[in-house]
Amino acid sequence: MVEKCLQAEILLELVFSISFEKEEELILKKTMPLYLRKLNCFLAGVLKKDNEGLCELMTIPIVASQSDEWASVLAYFCSLDIDPGQECPKYVLNDHYYYSFCLHGYGMLILGRNKAFDHFFVKELQNTVNYLGRVLIQANEIKRRELAEDKLRESEFRLSLLMQESPRIMEVYDRNGCQVIVNKAYEKFWGVEAAETINQFNVLESEDVREMGMKEYILRAYQGETIIVPEYLFRLKSQFNGIDRNCDKWLSSSIYPLHNKKGEVEYIVVTHEDITERKEAEKALMIAKERAEESDRLKSAFLANMSHEIRTPMNGILGFTNLLKRPMLGASEQQEYIELIEKSGARMLAVINDLIDISKIESGQMEITISPININALIHDVYSFFKSNADEKNLQFSLSKLLPLEEIQSNTDKEKLLAILMNLVNNAIKYTSKGYVEIQVEKKEDCFVFCVKDSGIGIHPKRQKAIFDRFIQADIGNQRAFEGTGLGLSISKAYVEMLGGKIWLESELGKGSIFYFSLPCNVKADDTNDYKLTPLTDRSTFENEKLNVLIVDDDKVSRNLMATQIKQICKDIIFAKNGIEALNLFNANPHLDLILMDMKMPLLDGYDTTREIRKTNQDVIIIAQTALGLIGDREKSIEVGCNDYIAKPILKDELLFLINRCFNRYKIGSK
Ligand code: ADP
C-alpha cells in the first residue's frame, strides 16, 4: 500500500518535472526529497556511472551527515560491483543503515536511515527504485530526442541559410523537371520572386535551356551523372512571366543529382556562377595586352624606322662631306655634293621636327595662333613648293578647284594649315609613281573642305583606319620603299582637330587615294602679335652700324657657322666656350652690341650667364640659341633676360632677320 502510494506520488512528481524541465539532476532534486520523506531517510545520494567508474552526482542530506561517514559509505558502495538484478547490500555505520539500489541503467541510489528496513520492504523499495530508474531513462531519452530534433532543426535551418545566402545561383528540380527550390541569388539574377517560378518553371520544357544545349546535360544529371560546365555564354531571348529577358550572360554551371534511399534520382540541383564580369574583365585585359604588345611592336618598329630615317641623311651628310675633302674636285661636283648635303640635312631636320611636334602634341603643349590668311595664296605656295618634285616624277600636278575671290579670306592657324597641306601633298607625290596629284578646296556650309587626290599606290582597306595612328608606316611591308617617319598623318590629324575640323580618306589599293580635311570658316582671330619670318629684304639696317659680337658656344662648329653667317654685319667677333669665359670677355669688352648665347654649356650655362650680365647691363642684345628646341625654352630664355630666341639648326637668313628685329626694336626704343 505504502509502495503503491509512493509510486503514484513519484510518478506524478516526475511527470510534472519532465514536462517542464528534462535535466536529470533537476528531476532527482525535485523527486528525491519527496521520496526520502516518505521513507524516513536522512540522506540520499546518486552515484552516476561514467567511463571511469562511479562518480558522485549529488547528495541530498535530510539530516546533516558526517562527511567522514558519507565518504566511507561511498567508498564502501563504490567498491561493489552491483548487478541491477541483485538484492542490495546493506552497510551499517554508527547505528546508521545505508542501502544502495541500482537506478536501472542510470546509476546507484544510496539511502541512509536510522532504522533498518525490513526485508519485505526493501524488496518493494527495489521495485520502486527500478521504476524511478526507468522513468529517469525515459526522461533522458525524451531529452536526447528533443535535443536531436533541435539539432536537426538547427542544421536544416543552417542548410537552408547556406543555400539561400549562397552567392551561387541555385535551383532544385524534382524528377519531372519542375522547379521546387530556388535561392536568393537566383531571384536576383533573373529578377523574379521565387513564388513566380517555383512549381511553374519546368527545366525539361524550357526553350532557352534546350537552345543553349543545356537540356542534354540536365538529362544526363537525371541519369545520375554530375556535370560541370566551366563557362558558356547563356543567351536568354524568351519572355518570362510577360517580361522580355534579352540578356547575354557568361555562366559557369554544375548540375548534379540527389538520390533517395532507394538510390533513385529524386532531384537535380543546378548551380551557376555569373562570371560575366570576370569574362568582361578578361576580355578587356586581353585587349589591353594585345594593345600593349601592338604598341611594343610598333615602338620597336618605330625605333628601327627612326634609326633608318636618321642614319640615311647622316650617311649622305658625312659621306659627301668626306668626298668634298678630295683634292682637285671639280666645281660642278662640289656644287652637287653640297646640294646633296643640304638635302640630307633638311631631311634630318624634318625627322627631328616631326618628333618634336608629336611630343608637343602628346604633352598638350602645342598652341594655335589664329590669324587672317588667304587660303588660295597658301595653296598656291604649297603648289609652287612641290611643283619641281612632281615634275621630276612626271606627275600631272594641278590645283583643280580653288575658292571664289569673296571666300578666300579666313581665320586659322597658318602654320598648322600649311603643315597639313604640305604633308598630304608630300605623301601624294611620294606614293604616286605615275598619273596625277591634285589639290582642291571648296566651301561647304560653314567649313572649308580641302582635298589632296592622287593616282598612287593606294592604301589597303584594313590599314585605312589606323593610318592616322602614330608610327604607322613602320607597320607596313613596303616601309623601306619610302622615306618618312610615319608621324606625318598623325600630326596632321592632331592639327586638323586642334583647328576644329576632321580628316578622312578614300582609297583603293593600286588606284589611288583622296585625303580630305575640313576646317571651320567662322573662327575669330587672336589678338596676338605674331612675328612672321619673311625673308630679310632690307639689309640696310646694319650697313652703317656694324656690330661688336660675342658668340658663346661650347661647340666649335656652331661658333664657326654663326660667325660665318653674321660676318657681313659685324665689326668684331669674339668667342667664348662657356659662361665663365663669356662673363670675363663681357667685362673686358664694354662695347659689345650683341651676344649669341648658347643656353646649354659646361661650367656656367647660358641662363646663369645671362642673369649675371643683366645684373649690370640691360642694353646689350642677348639672343639665346639652343639645340633643344623644346616647349618652354623660349619662355625660359626670355625670363632670364634674353631678348630673343632661335633654335638650331640656324639658317643665315633667319638669324639675320632676328638680329635685325632685335636691333630695330630695342635700339630704337631704348636709345
Ligand atoms: P610617312 O612619313 O611615313 O609618310 P605619314 O604619317 O605621312 O608618314 O603616312 C603614314 C603612312 O600612310 C605612309 O607610310 C603610307 O604607307 C601611307 N600613306 C600616306 N599617304 C598616302 C598616299 N597618298 N598614298 C598611299 N599611301 C599613303
Which of the listed CATH numbers 3.40.1280.10, 3.40.190.10, 3.30.450.240, 3.40.50.300 matches domain 1-144? 3.30.450.240
Give the DSSP letter of residue 663.
Answer: I
Q: From the CB of 594, is ligand 1 less than 6 Å away? A: no
| Amino acid 390: pLDDT | 93
Cα 91 off chain centre by: 88
Q: How much is the average pLDDT of 47-75?
A: 64
Q: From the CB of 455, is ligand 1 less than 6 Å away? A: no
How would residue 526 be classed by pLDDT, with cut points 50, 70 and 90? low
Q: From the CB of 427, is ligand 1 less than 6 Å away? A: yes
pLDDT tens readout for residues 436-484: 999 999 999 889 999 999 999 999 888 888 888 776 554 455 444 455 6
What are the respective helix, strand and coil percentages of the chain, to the nearest 5? Answer: 50, 25, 25
Give the DSSP letter of residue 79.
Answer: T
Tell me the range of 238-242, 262-266, 522-526 where mean pLDDT is highest: 262-266
State the distance from the centre of ligand 1 to the C-alpha of 486, rounded, in angstroms.
7
Which ligand 1 atom minimizes the distance to the CA of 491? 6
Task: Burial-class residue 214 by CB neighbours within 10 Å (0-12, 13-18, 19+).
Answer: buried
Which ligand 1 atom minimizes the distance to the CA of 489? 6
Q: Would you say the CATH fold of 547-669 matches that of 1-144?
A: no
Instruction: Say what percent of the chain tops pLDDT 90.
Output: 27
pLDDT tens readout for residues 590-603: 889 999 999 888 88
Of all protein residues, whose CA lies closest to atom 19 belonging to ligand 1?
Answer: 427
Q: How much is the average pLDDT of 637-653?
A: 86
Residue 42 CB contacts under 8 Å (≥ 6 apart), including other chains: 36, 61, 62, 63, 65, 96, 112, 113, 114
State the distance from the centre of ligand 1 to the C-alpha of 647, rounded, in angstroms.
28
Q: From the CB of 488, is ligand 1 less than 6 Å away? A: yes
| More confidently predicted of 623 and 122 | 623
Give the DSSP letter of residue 270.
Answer: E
Q: For helices 414-430 and 488-498, what crossing angle results, to 10°?
A: 150
461 cis-preceded (ω within 30 degrees of 0): no
| Amino acid 666: pLDDT | 39
What are the residue boundaries of the structural domains of the chain, listed by start? 1-144, 167-366, 371-520, 547-669
Domain 547-669: state its class: alpha beta
State the distance from the centre of ligand 1 to the C-alpha of 353, rounded, in angstroms.
17
How would residue 147 be classed by pLDDT, with cut points 50, 70 and 90? confident
Please determine, for residue 631, whether its predicted confidence score (pLDDT) is greater than 70: no
State the distance from the centre of ligand 1 to the C-alpha of 317, rounded, in angstroms.
25
State the distance from the centre of ligand 1 to the C-alpha of 368, rounded, in angstroms.
25
Q: From the CB of 512, is ligand 1 less than 6 Å away? A: no
| Amino acid 544: pLDDT | 54
Q: For residues 427 and 452, what is the distance between their CA atoms, to the nearest angstrom?
A: 10
Q: From the CB of 456, is ligand 1 less than 6 Å away? A: yes
Q: For residues 450 and 421, what is the distance between their CA atoms, to the nearest angstrom?
A: 9
Please determine, for residue 83, whether its predicted confidence score (pLDDT) is greater than 90: no
Q: Which CATH superfamily is domain 371-520 in?
A: Histidine kinase-like ATPase, C-terminal domain (3.30.565.10)
Residue 60 CB contacts under 8 Å (≥ 6 apart), including other chains: 28, 29, 32, 33, 36, 43, 44, 45
Q: How much is the average pLDDT of 514-542?
A: 61
Of 228-237, 279-288, 314-323, the range with the lowest mean pLDDT is 228-237
Per the CB < 8 A criterion, the answer to whether 419 and 391 are in contact is no
What element of type H or E holds 255? strand 247-259
Q: How much is the average pLDDT of 416-421?
A: 92
| More confidently predicted of 64 and 370 | 370
Which ligand 1 atom minimizes the distance to the CA of 452? 23
Residue 422 CB contacts under 8 Å (≥ 6 apart), including other chains: 382, 385, 386
Q: From the CB of 491, is ligand 1 less than 6 Å away? A: no
Q: How much is the average pLDDT of 116-122?
A: 81
| More confidently predicted of 663 and 430 | 430
Q: For residues 551 and 605, what is the distance between their CA atoms, to the nearest angstrom?
A: 14
Residue 458 CB contacts under 8 Å (≥ 6 apart), including other chains: 507, 508, 509, 510, 511, 512, 513
Residue pointed to by grid coordinates 615602338: 299
| Amino acid 32: pLDDT | 67
Of all protein residues, whose CA lies closest to atom 8 belonging to ligand 1?
Answer: 486
Of all protein residues, whose CA lies closest to atom 4 belonging to ligand 1?
Answer: 484
Of 204-208, 273-277, 297-301, the range with the lowest mean pLDDT is 297-301
| More confidently predicted of 130 and 249 | 249
Q: Which fold has domain 167-366?
A: Beta-Lactamase (3.30.450)
CA dihedral 113, 117, 123, 129 (to 10 degrees): -20
Beta-bridge mates of residue 644: 623
Q: From the CB of 43, is ligand 1 less than 6 Å away? A: no
Count H helices, E strands: the chain?
20, 24
Average confidence score pLDDT of the chain: 81
Of 197-206, 295-304, 320-329, 517-526, the range with the lowest mean pLDDT is 295-304
pTM above 0.85, yes or no: no
Tell me the range of 33-37, 243-247, 266-270 where mean pLDDT is highest: 266-270
| Amino acid 483: pLDDT | 58
Q: How much is the average pLDDT of 284-290?
A: 91
Q: From the CB of 484, is ligand 1 less than 6 Å away? A: yes
Interior CA angle at 437 toward 431 and 443, to 5°?
125
| Amino acid 501: pLDDT | 93
Of all protein residues, whose CA lies closest to atom 14 belonging to ligand 1?
Answer: 473
How far from 580 is each of 287, 316, 585, 589, CA to CA, in Å?
56, 37, 9, 14
Residue pointed to by grid coordinates 634630318: 348
State the distance from the centre of ligand 1 to the C-alpha of 354, rounded, in angstroms.
14
Q: From the CB of 494, is ligand 1 less than 6 Å away? A: no
State the distance from the centre of ligand 1 to the C-alpha of 388, rounded, in angstroms.
20
Pairing relationship of beta strands 247-259 and 227-236 according to DSSP bridges: antiparallel
pLDDT tens readout for residues 186-238: 888 888 888 888 999 899 998 878 887 889 999 999 999 999 988 888 776 65
Residue 263 CB contacts under 8 Å (≥ 6 apart), including other chains: none
Cα 155 off chain centre by: 43
